[in-house]
Structure 1
């Protein structure tokens, strides 16, 4: 009889079974994709569905030979076994094997996998199957192993007792669960009998402890583990100790963090996930008292082929080299959270290995109550977790926010399913427990991670406890979505911060801290029994004296000056956005604003000396003009390279390297003896000077929260904007009273002083590396990067491959493309004005050089006022919107603040054209200059801040793209305005320029209307584009 098995649809389904082989060639099977579970018993035969496919005689014969060969050579082996001729499926089974250590009772660990999938269009599938098979061969946890189980009636009774402990003290319960009716209890006993028959510790595996919720306003205290995690560990320890009373080998818990699986969907930076996990592993001894029963694993170490990485590590993986198709996989983006390249690669790899089957998942949501509950739970907590995320705030209605959360919940389900599948494959003999409300029929068992006597029902404070009515309606409270509140008797409840703030009482609440400064929990100095009915019936966890930390371990802070009033701000124990003092941030802002002026200064200080330089080198005007053009072109393009490097490797080193290049090139220019050397060195000088164009924006995003960025950006832009004003004056002075060479020596000296200031005072600010900067804030004002700092920052070092063209990827976002195009138009128009100012003052008004210089005063005032007032206005409008809606900022609020500049800039240009053409009083001309510059800098401040707010994790890169559009537009405007004015006259020329600006403003209006919607759909459209869809 011919039997036909349909081809699998995902790489994980291609894995037929995992096995071990003893020295005699006997196979022992651990898991199979074609059966719900396969016991790892030593007398288990080949799974029937597999034995029907593969020639059994060949397998047994080959196994004996392999057991000896691999034992001797110890190398990874791969070979094929053809399927029986009676089957029509044109396939073979590939076996991957490795020798186990010689002290093991087994000789070989192996994986059997089909070589093809039901996906003929995917050319990368064989590579993916090969990677997964290799991974399972190397990383599948098959030890400890025993060849001699001892089965007895006593062991069966012992298994039943342990099942009762789980049921009474750990298991999630609902009225419709299947612990009994669905065979869950029997399956649990079946799983643990393997360990008991061999006198081995029972191995539990728990995916969880990802990171704290990003909603610190209404859910959690901060970003680090607190009393909630402590109670969770103590709950597991208590269960372990209860089992140890009846079963001496006890239990072990493998904690598999899923933080990096979901962090980008939740708006949590990967570096925060690392910090949470690092603190958790460090504090587990003090939190649990039993660090010996816990091991920790992360997404990166689980998926790496490096056999030495058995537990969690923050060293980046090298997935792209091992799986080339990884870089082609596009992850949907719903938030702007900063990601670490290694974590992003691990997420891609996870999705590739497990496959995506959304159609089947939709059916599961409809039919499986456990999956329904999981989907509803994801959707529900996403509404709260993402409450303060810009992507949510940009949506106009609650219904739109729900729709976004539903999309993200579906993506979370896909990744959860993928992660669950991979974890199940890597830990085939472990007992699966979960914080999600599964129906407990197996293979997963839902557990209350915090002892149930401490938890009020489903996040309410009404004192009701007990089982959930339906699985799909229940939410198990977890430490990372809640905080702990304790009363004067040491009783605890686990609830959200917004509910905790409703707790009344006449005495002031206290926030308790651990000795290392981490927030622990809230303390209410009166019994819960006096506040809520039924609270007095709660019992404490065993060993209650350890539940509230002793006075020696905690500090207490009074959170409110009024007896009964809570303040959301004062109760929040979250970290500040930036750990530096306001004075230090102002100093750093001054430093980068000073540095920001070097590029425009170097470009413009050169202009008065061009004739002297041409004479010195005996070259033509066009060749000298080429040095100006090449400087501007380089200055436009180079920021892309610096911006990409700064967003991955860090800001500080890029500042130091680029300014060292700038200083060296300036010194060499002062000594240059040939035109060719002059041209090359001007290009090098432009490369060094251009870095701050993008670096400054990134540093502002690091140091200032969104509600402060407008003001900060206005101050920063003063540096680049003042360069063109003071440059020609300084250049003329130095050329006349010294030599053109002293222009470059002056720039070198000023640059060297700035470089020293960077070296001494500028810390690393990239948030992906140092978070909010606490690591530097704790070490004083002077920055000397010694081992104590490098050790704390090296773990988050990026593994991104350097790509100077990376900023171009932002052109995929329509709102960014429109904004940088508009700023290019504005900057080109400004340079039309800048070129004509001295010509008009000399030719029309008869001013000499000194009076022309004085006439720039209104322009300078316009620069200062437009930049600073525009930034403050944008921040004020943001605060106004927040007060009116109760929401945080959205990037598009910056666009709506540009209306002042949109009106004033073209009005000023037109007024300049008419005043100069018709020889109106010079005061009107100077007013036109003030209006134009005021409007232009207002626009720059608001627009650049919008770019930063849109991509705060890649601020340097996106602003580098802005420079790429802006500077060539300036060069174009400078080149065409002279001939155009000579041909049509001054007022028609500048009225035309003003009309171009008015037309260009339509781009900004489009972003005002559609920007938020585009940003929400950006991740989907990127995926479609990459797949060849429109």
Structure 2
């Protein structure tokens, strides 16, 4: 048996951290040749006598720490039959984690919420002057985060969003599938989960509750297009490596209809109306309730006003308003559909509160932040709260900043860029990157990187003129401009 004196590097008692530290012990860290190499008498170190150690693949109550006395750190854990069991070697360093005081849990929960809060952008109440400072909802979520920390798993956040692409493909969006807007949005949500790891190693998980099924029939979008958009979102998250931090849940997933069978398009379409009916029957709000909420709650009224704004443009291209023969009749339809959407939105919120009560609530709608975090999915150069990516196109400026726009607003000033053969974003027109060279790809990447590489299967060198334009582009672009894959890529390196 190895008896080692080891420094205590954390004061947090958590199965996932035990697992992480044990892996460090097995695979790296500094070696200690004997217990005498470290003074066991100092408060910063403890002596460990190792008998058997394992690390199951998931944190659970299977960890038996009853044999870890308060005044010692002898670890005796029964070996589990798991491929993740570790072969313990002598003279390897391991971090020992001691049980914290209750105030440590509060401090950790507070630190986690500070990270989450940094991603928010909120409105100031009308009766308050000056800029918004801090996140008003932090105290509201303290108990939820503290409970999740005690369980030792990733901090779970719930975001009702990503329904479908707007039906208005004439003035607003360029197709029915996710594009650069969704890519940037997923990247930002993933980065939030990664940033939580700085203060809490298990990190975070964003559970996207895609709500398109609740609204598509109201605005005239088909269930087929709603499925295609959601499936495209899943594939995008997987291709970017975000599928561990971002989980997409459709209504039938949350209701439990897919617990035994993976969801496919056929089962999705067969369950669509059943799920809509079930949500409205069990959790449905009445129109009177919603109107009362709009009178009493400024955040609810903000959401309603947001619905009115996008419906005024969307319904002009929807069969829902095809029979409107005058502006007055059209506005009446817009308001009627907006109320229907509010009823379903508030019903869905009630449903999520019942099904996901411990999650931190995120929102794509501007709010005061009292009971949710309003998170801009796209960080704009202006700093303003953006349009949602499914109601807009992305315009990339020469300096690398993003703006969420209606496509009709930038057609004259920007070039429509394609990815995998379909429209993906708009790029400001400039001779610095409008090269008329189909073998050179410019790819915008989160947060504001511009990547240049040759088209797949092409061996190519950049010309002197192109290299000079890359140099000039770096002078105005606020983010990195990276050149890879060209035969003379080194010449284009920063």
TM-score by length of 1: 0.32
How far apart are residue 378 of structure 1 and its match? Answer: 0.8
C-alpha distance after superposition, 1:387-439 (max 9, x if no partner): 12244243122222111111111111111111111122111211111112232
- Tell me how far apart the structure 2 counterparts of residues 543 and 554 of structure 1 sit (CA, whole Å): 27
How far apart are residue 489 of structure 1 and its match? Answer: 3.6
What's the counterpart of residue 126 of structure 1? none
How far apart are residue 384 of structure 1 and its match? Answer: 0.9
What's the counterpart of residue 292 of structure 2? 363
Q: Of 118, 125, 137, which aligns to 1:176?
A: 125
How far apart are residue 245 of structure 1 and its match? Answer: 1.8
What's the counterpart of residue 526 of structure 1? 430
Kept in 1, the 8 Å contact 2:220–2:319? The answer is no
Kept in 2, the 8 Å contact 1:513–1:554? The answer is no
How far apart are residue 313 of structure 1 and its match? Answer: 4.3
Q: What are the equivalent positions in structure 2 for 1:268-283 lying under 5 Å apart?
A: 268-283=221-236
Check if 1:477 corresponds to 2:406.
no
Q: What are the equivalent positions in structure 2 for 1:546-695 lying under 5 Å apart?
A: 550-552=453-455
> Does the C-alpha gap of structure 1 residues 423 and 199 become closer, same or farther in structure 2, counting only changes over 3 Å?
same
- Tell me how far apart the structure 2 counterparts of residues 186 and 391 of structure 1 sit (CA, whole Å): 43
> Does the C-alpha gap of structure 1 residues 393 and 315 become closer, same or farther in structure 2, counting only changes over 3 Å?
closer
C-alpha distance after superposition, 1:746-776 (max 9, x if no partner): xxxxxxxxxxxxxxxxxxxxxxxxxxxxxxx
Check if 1:411 corresponds to 2:303.
no
How far apart are residue 359 of structure 1 and its match? Answer: 1.3
Check if 1:190 corresponds to 2:127.
no
Kept in 2, the 8 Å contact 1:485–1:492? The answer is yes
Q: What are the equivalent positions in structure 2 for 1:943-1022 lying under 5 Å apart?
A: none
What's the counterpart of residue 303 of structure 1? 255
- Tell me how far apart the structure 1 counterparts of residues 304 and 339 of structure 2 sit (CA, whole Å): 7
How far apart are residue 541 of structure 1 and its match? Answer: 8.1
What's the counterpart of residue 349 of structure 2? 420
Report the structure, 1 or 2, having the larger strand content: 2
> Does the C-alpha gap of structure 1 residues 151 and 306 become closer, same or farther in structure 2, counting only changes over 3 Å?
farther
Secondary structure, aligned partner of 1:484: strand
Q: What are the equivalent positions in structure 2 for 1:901-940 lying under 5 Å apart?
A: none
C-alpha distance after superposition, 1:190-221 (max 9, x if no partner): 32122223332100111111110000111111
Q: Of 211, 220, 223, which aligns to 1:258?
A: 211
Secondary structure, aligned partner of 2:139: helix
Q: What are the equivalent positions in structure 2 for 1:135-146 lying under 5 Å apart?
A: none
- Tell me how far apart the structure 2 counterparts of residues 403 and 423 of structure 1 sit (CA, whole Å): 30
What's the counterpart of residue 388 of structure 1? 317
- Tell me how far apart the structure 2 counterparts of residues 502 and 367 of structure 1 sit (CA, whole Å): 44
> Does the C-alpha gap of structure 1 residues 438 and 304 become closer, same or farther in structure 2, counting only changes over 3 Å?
same
TM-score by length of 2: 0.64
Kept in 2, the 8 Å contact 1:200–1:249? The answer is yes
Check if 1:294 corresponds to 2:246.
yes
Q: Of 223, 245, 265, which aligns to 1:314?
A: 265
C-alpha distance after superposition, 1:620-662 (max 9, x if no partner): xxxxxxxxxxxxxxxxxxxxxxxxxxxxxxxxxxxxxxxxxxx
Check if 1:285 corresponds to 2:214.
no
- The structure, 1 or 2, with the larger RCO (C-alpha pairs under 8 Å, 6+ apart) is 2
Check if 1:498 corresponds to 2:434.
no
Kept in 2, the 8 Å contact 1:227–1:484? The answer is yes
Check if 1:447 corresponds to 2:375.
yes
What's the counterpart of residue 190 of structure 2? 237
How far apart are residue 544 of structure 1 and its match? Answer: 3.5
How far apart are residue 483 of structure 1 and its match? Answer: 0.7
Kept in 2, the 8 Å contact 1:351–1:415? The answer is yes
- Tell me how far apart the structure 1 counterparts of residues 396 and 431 of structure 2 sit (CA, whole Å): 9
> Does the C-alpha gap of structure 1 residues 315 and 492 become closer, same or farther in structure 2, counting only changes over 3 Å?
same
Kept in 2, the 8 Å contact 1:297–1:312? The answer is no
How far apart are residue 527 of structure 1 and its match? Answer: 10
Secondary structure, aligned partner of 1:193: helix
- Tell me how far apart the structure 2 counterparts of residues 488 and 391 of structure 1 sit (CA, whole Å): 39
Kept in 2, the 8 Å contact 1:436–1:476? The answer is no
Secondary structure, aligned partner of 2:395: strand
> Does the C-alpha gap of structure 1 residues 512 and 200 become closer, same or farther in structure 2, counting only changes over 3 Å?
same
> Does the C-alpha gap of structure 1 residues 554 and 342 become closer, same or farther in structure 2, counting only changes over 3 Å?
farther
> Does the C-alpha gap of structure 1 residues 149 and 441 become closer, same or farther in structure 2, counting only changes over 3 Å?
farther
Unaligned regions of 5+ residues in structure 2, if any?
1-58, 63-97, 433-443, 459-494
C-alpha distance after superposition, 1:702-731 (max 9, x if no partner): xxxxxxxxxxxxxxxxxxxxxxxxxxxxxx
- Structure 1 or 2, whichever has the larger Rg, is 1
How far apart are residue 306 of structure 1 and its match? Answer: 5.5
> Does the C-alpha gap of structure 1 residues 405 and 308 become closer, same or farther in structure 2, counting only changes over 3 Å?
same
Kept in 2, the 8 Å contact 1:149–1:197? The answer is no
How far apart are residue 446 of structure 1 and its match? Answer: 1.7
- Tell me how far apart the structure 1 counterparts of residues 397 and 308 of structure 2 sit (CA, whole Å): 32
Q: What are the equivalent positions in structure 2 for 1:842-853 lying under 5 Å apart?
A: none
Kept in 2, the 8 Å contact 1:512–1:554? The answer is no
Secondary structure, aligned partner of 2:122: coil
- Tell me how far apart the structure 1 counterparts of residues 358 and 175 of structure 2 sit (CA, whole Å): 36
- Tell me how far apart the structure 2 counterparts of residues 416 and 497 of structure 1 sit (CA, whole Å): 27
What's the counterpart of residue 8 of structure 2? none
How far apart are residue 267 of structure 1 and its match? Answer: 1.2
Secondary structure, aligned partner of 2:265: coil
Secondary structure, aligned partner of 1:155: helix
Secondary structure, aligned partner of 2:394: strand
> Does the C-alpha gap of structure 1 residues 159 and 511 become closer, same or farther in structure 2, counting only changes over 3 Å?
same
> Does the C-alpha gap of structure 1 residues 437 and 554 become closer, same or farther in structure 2, counting only changes over 3 Å?
farther
How far apart are residue 237 of structure 1 and its match? Answer: 1.8
> Does the C-alpha gap of structure 1 residues 158 and 182 become closer, same or farther in structure 2, counting only changes over 3 Å?
closer
What's the counterpart of residue 228 of structure 1? 181
C-alpha distance after superposition, 1:323-350 (max 9, x if no partner): xxxxxxxxxxxxxxxxx45312211111
Unaligned regions of 5+ residues in structure 1, if any?
1-102, 107-147, 318-339, 457-464, 467-474, 504-508, 529-539, 556-1030
- Tell me how far apart the structure 2 counterparts of residues 521 and 430 of structure 1 sit (CA, whole Å): 33
Check if 1:401 corresponds to 2:330.
yes
C-alpha distance after superposition, 1:254-277 (max 9, x if no partner): 111111110111211110111111
Kept in 2, the 8 Å contact 1:225–1:280? The answer is yes
- Tell me how far apart the structure 2 counterparts of residues 496 and 394 of structure 1 sit (CA, whole Å): 25
- Tell me how far apart the structure 2 counterparts of residues 553 and 223 of structure 1 sit (CA, whole Å): 26
What's the counterpart of residue 510 of structure 1? 415
> Does the C-alpha gap of structure 1 residues 402 and 199 become closer, same or farther in structure 2, counting only changes over 3 Å?
same
> Does the C-alpha gap of structure 1 residues 363 and 315 become closer, same or farther in structure 2, counting only changes over 3 Å?
same
